[in-house]
A and B are shown apart, each in its own frame.
Chain A
Amino acid sequence: MARTLIHAPKAARAGEIIEIRAMIAHPMETGQRMGVNGTMIPRAIINRFVCTYGGEVVFSADLHPAVSANPFLSFCVVATQSGVLAFAWTEDTGEVHVATTDITVT
C-alpha cells in the first residue's frame, strides 16, 4: 500500500472554507531517464488525482511527467455536511491508491 499524508480538519462549521493537503510517496518516473546500462527506465507516474466529499468530486487534477516525486497537492473546499473525504491517486498501470478521512460539520 502506498504511503500517503493527508491534512484535513476533523471538524468545521457549515460554510467554512477548509484547506486540504494530500501527499503520496511516489517516484514519478518520467520515462526520460537512462538506467545503469543505458536502457530507458519506463515511465511510471500517478496521472490523476481525485478528491470526493460525500461521494461528489470537489477537486481533481491531471498529473504529467514533469511533476516531481512525492506529489503534494493543496486545495480548499467549502464544508457543507459531515461525511467522508476520499482521495484517489491513479497510476499509469490503472492501479488506484485510496485514502479517506472523516469530517464533522456543525
Chain B
Amino acid sequence: MRPRPRAPAVIAALLSIPALLAVSGAVALEQGDRRSGIAFASPQTQAMQADDTANPGMLWVMDGAQLWRRPDGAAGKACQECHGDAAQSMKGVAPRYPDFDAGLGRPVDLSGRINLCRVRHQRAAPLAHEGSEMLALTAFVAFQSRGLPMAPAADARLAPFRAEGRRLFEQRMGQLDLSCANCHDDHWSARLGGSPVTQAQPNAYPLYRLEWQALGSLQRRMRNCMAGVRAEPFAYDAADYIDLELYLAARAAGLPMETPGVRP
C-alpha cells in the first residue's frame, strides 16, 4: 500500500515558499551548528522527554528489558545469555551504528544487527522492522547509551555507502522536487506549516512521536518526510535507508544520544 502524504497544511505551506526552497545551496551542516531536534521542541515536549515517568518511550524500553531475557529460536537462547548485562555490554554500541557487517558485505543499522543476532545466533525468525518487539529491543539497546555522544564507525569500508547516503540526501525527489538537504541543511532554522524544520538529527531514535502516538524508527520518520514531498518511500529495510542513516550519523557526530526521544 502507498503511504498517504502528510498533512495538507504542510503541502500548502510548502507551495507558499517555493522561491526560498528553489535555491539549491546544498551546503552541508557546519559542525558548530549541530542541534538535536529536541532543542526545537516546545518546553512541554522537552519536559516529557526529560522525565522517565512521563516519557512514553520508556514503556518500550521496559518491554525491551523483558525481551532481552527471553529465550527464543531453535537455539533457545536469550540475548542476555550471550551479552550479559546490557548496561555494560550494550553501552556505547548504538552511537556507532550503522556499522559494517562482513558477512553481508554491507552496513547494517542497529535493528538490522539485532535481526542478524536473531537469525544467526538464536536461529529465530527475523522481527518485522516496525513491529513492537523490534522497536522495544532497539530502544532498550540504544537506551544503554543515552547521554553518550554519537560516534559514527570509522571503518573505511563504510565510506562508499556513506557517500551514497549523502547523494540521496542531496537529491531532489517527489512531485515537489525537494531534497532532504533543501529543508534540513538550507532551512533547518525555519518553520514549515507551523513545525520547526530542524536538522534531521538521528540521535534520539527510536523515539515517541506525539503524532504517531507510538514509538517509531528513524526509517519511519524518513518515510514521513518522503511522503511529505510526494515521493514514493523506499520499502522498509531498503539499502537506501541504511545509506541515509550512515550519512545522518556522520552529520550528527558528537550530539548526545537521547533514546527514547519525544517529538511532536
Binding site for B on A (CB under 8 A): 3, 5-7, 21, 23, 25, 27-28, 36, 68-70, 72, 74
Which residues of A are found within 8 Å of B133, using beta-carbon distances? none
Residue of A3, A7, A27, A69 near B62 (CB, 8 A) is A3
- B132 closest partner in A (C-beta): A25
Contact B1 A3 (CB under 8 A): no
Which residues of B are found within 8 Å of A68, using beta-carbon distances? 210, 213
A49 to B62, CA, bound (A): 22
Contact B59 A5 (CB under 8 A): yes
Over the window 40-59 of chain B, the binary record of Cβ atoms lying under 8 Å from chain A Cβ atoms (1 yes, 0 no) is 00000000000001101011
Which residues of B are found within 8 Å of A72, using beta-carbon distances? 54, 56
A-B contact pairs, 24 of them (CB 8 A): A3-B59, A3-B62, A5-B53, A5-B58, A5-B59, A6-B53, A7-B54, A21-B53, A23-B53, A23-B54, A23-B56, A23-B59, A25-B56, A25-B59, A27-B213, A68-B210, A68-B213, A69-B213, A69-B214, A70-B59, A70-B213, A72-B54, A72-B56, A74-B54
Which residues of A are found within 8 Å of B1, using beta-carbon distances? 36
A74 to B48, CA, bound (A): 13
A80 to B1, CA, bound (A): 57
Over the window 1-43 of chain B, the binary record of Cβ atoms lying under 8 Å from chain A Cβ atoms (1 yes, 0 no) is 1000000000000000000000000000000000000000000
14 extra interface residue pairs, beta carbon distance < 8 Å, beyond A5-B58, A28-B213, A70-B213: A3-B62, A3-B63, A5-B59, A5-B62, A7-B54, A21-B53, A23-B54, A23-B56, A25-B59, A27-B213, A36-B1, A68-B210, A68-B213, A70-B56
A28 to B214, CA, bound (A): 11
A14 to B62, CA, bound (A): 32
The number of chain B residues with a CB under 8 A from chain A is 11
- B1 closest partner in A (C-beta): A36
A68 to B62, CA, bound (A): 20
Rounded to whole Å, the gap between the CB of A21 and the closest CB of chain B is 5
Which residues of B are found within 8 Å of A28, using beta-carbon distances? 213
- B208 closest partner in A (C-beta): A70
A86 to B232, CA, bound (A): 49
A-B CB proximity, top 6 nearest = A7-B53, A69-B213, A25-B59, A70-B56, A3-B59, A21-B53
Which residues of A are found within 8 Å of B62, using beta-carbon distances? 3, 5
Over the window 170-182 of chain B, the binary record of Cβ atoms lying under 8 Å from chain A Cβ atoms (1 yes, 0 no) is 0000000000000
Rounded to whole Å, the gap between the CB of A101 and the closest CB of chain B is 12
A69 to B210, CA, bound (A): 9
- B63 closest partner in A (C-beta): A3
A36 to B63, CA, bound (A): 27
Which residues of A are found within 8 Å of B210, using beta-carbon distances? 68
